[in-house]
Structure 1
Amino acid sequence: MQTLLSLLALGTVTVGAGTAGHRRLKLSRAKHTSMAGHPRWSRRIAAQIPGFAYDEQAFFGCDGAPDEVIARRRAGLDRLATLYAERFPKGRALTAEAAPGISDLQFTGAYRVPFPFAQMVRGKLGVGGFAERSEGVQVWDVDGNAFYDLTGSYGVNLLGTDAYKGMIADAVEQVGDLGPFLGALHPIVADNVARLKALTGLDEVSFHMSGTEAVMQAVRLARYHTGRSHLVRFCGAYHGWWGDVQPGIGNPVPADGTYTLSEMSERTLGILETKRNIACVLINPLQALHPNGGAPSDNQLVDGGRRAGGTEREAYAEWLRELAAVCRRRGIVLILDDVFTGFRLAKGGAAEYFGIAPDMITYGKTLGGGLPIGALVGKAALMRRYNPDRPLDICFARGTFNSHPYVMAAMNGFLRHIEGPEGAKLYDGLDICWNMRAARMTAALAAAGVPVRVAHLSSIWTVLYDVPSRFNWMLQYYLRAEGLLLSWVGTGRIIFSLNYTDADFDEVVARFVRACQAMQADGWWWHDAKATNKTLRRAVMREALAKRLGR
């Protein structure tokens, strides 16, 4: 891969000598060297990777395991398959019935594990996609099975589901007289705006229906007011699924107005100092957990090379401060995408946590009090959607459901909660609490002798593996068997709600350790003594190439 990128850089130099070629080379060198840092190449290469599925023999022995280990793996998978069939019959049947009409279920079902293994796993370990109730830190599926919730509802569930159920019920009571009347604003909106302005120190607010929409509006306004064409995002960062901020795999349209640059890089700061067409820079503070790496997911886990953690909070904060200083000097709008991390790291969000002052902040997820929301808070000069001197020069943005009365009332309940005495308790010693819990989990895993540890950013965790195994992704199925519920991305992202007590957490640790021990006993972490993560990745590429060549 490095050789390929070096050749690309050489080609860039050859194409344009002199100043233009130098500028192009400088931009290329500011990109991360991974494929995620080169979205066009990642799309081209991804389009050439053929689909294929292992048969039963290859499934168990693709890493060259001896017969004794293959037998243990086969017996372990059969035991899990029997348990799943007995424990989840209604959920699996309902999912099978509904999936042909729900594209999301089709997608998540196909991409829980690396694709060569998916066909066998779906047949043996199909999981249900439906739940019936929640209480405390647990959720119950349609078969009546209770799980400790490690999904965090993709970031929404900060306070615990009981708190949001109360906020939604109160919202219906508060604004019920107006109902779903749209267009005019319920008076509660004014209170929300005042609270958000006080929290952020910014001037104006606009409401949207999702975090993706809020980011879209922030970028649009930045381009409108600066008159510049390009946005900068950082390698691996997620800002929603729209085209300009997802320029690589998953987006069928080229994002020609986007630069994907390397985070925590002096070369990137150099580009920002010299380029004249950059309207804004997007920061997703979750990247502090894995700079320049994409959101970890088990469907990409073909080896043990997942990386996260290792970046000190102060080092990342210093990078953000340097970035902000460059943006101020160059008139570039700094947008903090706090959709995922907002209110989870601190009451004042990532701006408070890392000590920076962005020009705009986007929110979503938990801010809605359990209902769908997106919000943009920014400086007055950037939030205006029209030019008072040119009446037809406008930056249009509207949404039928923006400022929906029930959403606004649930949001008001959330904001009042975090600003009250319960909120003060919530954030008191937050980092200390989750640092200690992560240490306890890692210590328990080490004591059990399993090759697993965790990395975290407060209550957002990812699971790391210390062996070069083709089967690390299997852990998600052992965890489910122990009553631990993960999202469809598996062990790549664990999100705890903050209502976990020490007793709740200790139970999660005990179950997590049992799942790892069972997986180890079934032989999934066997590996050849000469195997490395690099050799495993090369083996996968050889298999794909052979399939591509029809062998």
Structure 2
Amino acid sequence: MDAFGPITIAAAAAALALLGVRGRKRLALSRAKHPSLTGHVRMAKRFAAQLPFYEYGEAEFAGVDGASEAVAARRRAGFARLSALYRERYAKTRALTEEAKAGISDLQFTGRYRVPFQFSRIVRENLSAGSFLQSASGVEVTDLDGNRLYDLTGSYGVNILGTDAYKACIQEGAGAVEALGPVLGALHPVVADNVRRLRAVSGMDEVSFHMSGTEAVMQAVRLAQYRTGRRRIVRFCGAYHGWWSDVQPGIGNPRPANDTLTLADMSERTLKVLATRRDIACVLVNPIQAMHPNGGAPSDGALVDSGRRAAFDRAAYADWLGRLRAVCTASGIVLIFDEVFVGFRLAPGGAQDYFGVRADLVTYGKTLGGGLPIGLLCGRHALMRRFREDRPGDICFARGTFNAHPYVMGAMNAFLRRLETPEVRALYADLDARWDARAAELNRRLEAEGLPVRVVNMSSIWTVLYTRPARYNWLLQYYLRLEGLALSWVGTGRLIFSLNYTDADIAAVTERFVAGARAMEADGWWAGPATTDKAIRRGVLREMIAVRWRGLRGRGGVAADAGNSPVPAE
């Protein structure tokens, strides 16, 4: 018995030491997460699962912020005027949208989440402008009713050069591959020229073609795991890398992403975790996060107050990427730049050139297809190889029926050739200075008129901020639409301009934007009682708790709560 005593004590000490090491690692990982629900994806998912549905009825819709009856009456009159204008101005477009919506799940989703859910039904019934367009030219689009609008949607990031350029790319590309047509598997000779140009643009050795940005990111992560033999993925809080489960943990993903670590962006604690762990295969960076580090893509659907934040410091983010690059190199971690959204918008050489930092793997998409669907992965030889010379059965398989489709490759080639023309290069000359000045002029006009709205930009990507705490900021998108500005379903969260906007076009957009904000101010939506964003959020939380509590007690539930405002917001 005594002989085992020292052994038992030694084993216990070793176990405690091991637990101590693991505990320190766990603590370091926890501290590297952003202190928000976005930074704690499992907690966010649990919270979302408990979020109860309720909505405001007609009676309280215009006064949930505690506004006086006079202000609420002004708002009701303004809303009625908006509703009448929408029904008159967008009749054909909204009629076809209603007809098609029953068979298009995307329309059902985007229509429901354009505004905070408590207001959604009444807004859908009254302020739908429809989702169909019949033509596009220059920087304008035209709907089925003949309304011409300045396009601020950017086709989700695809439209960098202007719609006319992409029409030409598609036409030229189709002509170049017409003799082969839609023959798949074999490659059209234009692919060889695309590869040569892509290697020059990306600074990488090899290229892998895919059909979407999500697919390209999937393959980048799989190859990083395959080549390093590690399983963990690091993504940064709030960053979007497609909708597949491993890079979209938390809300919106019905499956757990157990190998994914969500860490804080621009954090020394994150660098410490990356420097000390040996199970991390790759780090994913989406450069658009430089505009709102640790925050999700801004959307009016989540705009319950005026708490949206954004700012862009190019030098600070470049410095962060440089330090991240150094840590990844020292730790054998694959650094992946996801440039699906920003690629070729910030610079002809993409975000790598713009920030002066080189990645190990880079994904592209959207605009690169010249107007057609595309996803692309570029990387170093050592990381792109999908097989092992010494183990022929050990492979990382990835193929797709439509990868390198001849027509897509033709349109891509036309786009890549355009990037080298003097006309397109001129669009990039003094790019940041030009777009910064345009945003500054809009802010000057808004401030001069005392309107509680400002814009922040990252080159030609803008987001709208609100300077006065309010519950109705999400309504601005509908006033802007009436002024002839087309926004995507995220509303004022992200305005995306094509680079072919002239100074005259921007001047017209500025006038219309100010007019829309002025009309919203006149209708009283920013005239609520003095409050704070914190008080607004607390008020909404109390409403949710009251609804949830009634549901747990079995008195009402969703159906009974519809149309009621359980607790007035502060």
The CA deviation at 1:543 is 0.5
1:258-277 correspondence runs (5 A)? 258-277=260-279
Deviation >6 Å, runs of 4+? none
Given the alignment of the two structures, is residue 539 of structure 1 paired with residue 500 of structure 2, yes or no?
no
Provide Cα deviations, 1:252-307, integer angstroms capped at 9, x if missing partner.
00100100000110000000001111000000000010000000000000000100
1:188 pairs, out of 190, 204, 207, with: 190
CA distance in 1, matches of 2:232, 2:132: 41
Q: TM-score, normalised by structure 2?
A: 0.93
The corresponding residue for 1:303 is: 305
The CA deviation at 1:423 is 2.6
* Residue identity in the other structure for 1:539: G
The corresponding residue for 1:280 is: 282
The corresponding residue for 2:377 is: 376
Q: Secondary structure at the match of 1:270?
A: helix
The corresponding residue for 1:343 is: 344
1:121-132 correspondence runs (5 A)? 121-132=123-134
The corresponding residue for 1:514 is: 515
The corresponding residue for 2:24 is: 22
CA distance in 2, matches of 1:88, 1:428: 39
Q: Secondary structure at the match of 1:133?
A: strand
Structure 2: gaps (5+ residues) = 1-17, 551-565
CA distance in 2, matches of 1:203, 1:306: 40
1:169-318 correspondence runs (5 A)? 169-309=171-311, 311-318=312-319
Q: Secondary structure at the match of 2:307?
A: coil
The CA deviation at 1:527 is 2.6
Provide Cα deviations, 1:380-426, integer angstroms capped at 9, x if missing partner.
00000001111110000000000000100100011110112123212
* Residue identity in the other structure for 1:391: P
Q: Secondary structure at the match of 2:462?
A: strand
CA distance in 1, matches of 2:458, 2:91: 36
Is 2:363–2:378's contact at 8 Å kept on the other side of the alignment? Answer: yes
* Residue identity in the other structure for 1:548: R
The CA deviation at 1:430 is 0.6
CA distance in 1, matches of 2:146, 2:67: 38
Provide Cα deviations, 1:321-380, integer angstroms capped at 9, x if missing partner.
000000000110000000000000001100000000100100001000000000000000
The CA deviation at 1:124 is 1.1
The CA deviation at 1:521 is 0.4
The corresponding residue for 2:138 is: 136
The CA deviation at 1:17 is 5.9
Q: Secondary structure at the match of 2:457?
A: strand
The CA deviation at 1:502 is 0.5
The corresponding residue for 1:470 is: 471
CA distance in 2, matches of 1:314, 1:423: 25
Provide Cα deviations, 1:104-150, integer angstroms capped at 9, x if missing partner.
00000100000000011111112201000000000000111100000
* Residue identity in the other structure for 1:446: E
CA distance in 1, matches of 2:313, 2:490: 25
CA distance in 2, matches of 1:468, 1:362: 39
Q: Percent identity?
A: 65
The corresponding residue for 1:458 is: 459
The CA deviation at 1:59 is 1.0
* Residue identity in the other structure for 1:66: S
Given the alignment of the two structures, is residue 505 of structure 1 paired with residue 511 of structure 2, yes or no?
no
CA distance in 1, matches of 2:277, 2:235: 14
Is 2:153–2:486's contact at 8 Å kept on the other side of the alignment? Answer: yes
Q: Secondary structure at the match of 1:139?
A: strand
1:18-97 correspondence runs (5 A)? 18-97=20-99
Q: Secondary structure at the match of 2:243?
A: coil
CA distance in 1, matches of 2:152, 2:63: 31
* Higher gyration radius (CA): 2
Q: Secondary structure at the match of 2:371?
A: coil
Q: Secondary structure at the match of 2:340?
A: coil
The CA deviation at 1:319 is 0.3
Q: Secondary structure at the match of 1:524?
A: coil
* Residue identity in the other structure for 1:390: R
The corresponding residue for 1:327 is: 328
The corresponding residue for 1:427 is: 428
Q: TM-score, normalised by structure 1?
A: 0.96
Is 2:233–2:280's contact at 8 Å kept on the other side of the alignment? Answer: yes
CA distance in 2, matches of 1:158, 1:231: 31
CA distance in 2, matches of 1:352, 1:272: 24
The corresponding residue for 2:148 is: 146
Q: Secondary structure at the match of 1:400?
A: coil
CA distance in 2, matches of 1:19, 1:205: 41
Q: Secondary structure at the match of 1:391?
A: strand
Structure 1: gaps (5+ residues) = 1-15
Q: Secondary structure at the match of 1:216?
A: helix
CA distance in 2, matches of 1:317, 1:526: 41
Q: Secondary structure at the match of 1:375?
A: strand
* Residue identity in the other structure for 2:234: V
CA distance in 2, matches of 1:497, 1:254: 37
Provide Cα deviations, 1:178-202, integer angstroms capped at 9, x if missing partner.
0000000000000000001011211
* Residue identity in the other structure for 2:317: Y
The corresponding residue for 2:562 is: none
* Residue identity in the other structure for 1:57: A
Q: Secondary structure at the match of 2:38?
A: helix
The corresponding residue for 2:6 is: none
CA distance in 2, matches of 1:59, 1:276: 54
CA distance in 2, matches of 1:40, 1:47: 11
The corresponding residue for 2:402 is: 401
* Residue identity in the other structure for 2:160: L
The corresponding residue for 1:12 is: none
Change (3 A) 1:201 1:35: same
CA distance in 2, matches of 1:421, 1:192: 19
CA distance in 2, matches of 1:435, 1:127: 31
1:102-121 correspondence runs (5 A)? 102-121=104-123
The corresponding residue for 1:367 is: 368
CA distance in 2, matches of 1:380, 1:419: 26
CA RMSD, 1 decimal: 1.0
The corresponding residue for 2:8 is: none
Q: Secondary structure at the match of 2:394?
A: strand
CA distance in 1, matches of 2:368, 2:535: 45
Is 2:71–2:528's contact at 8 Å kept on the other side of the alignment? Answer: no
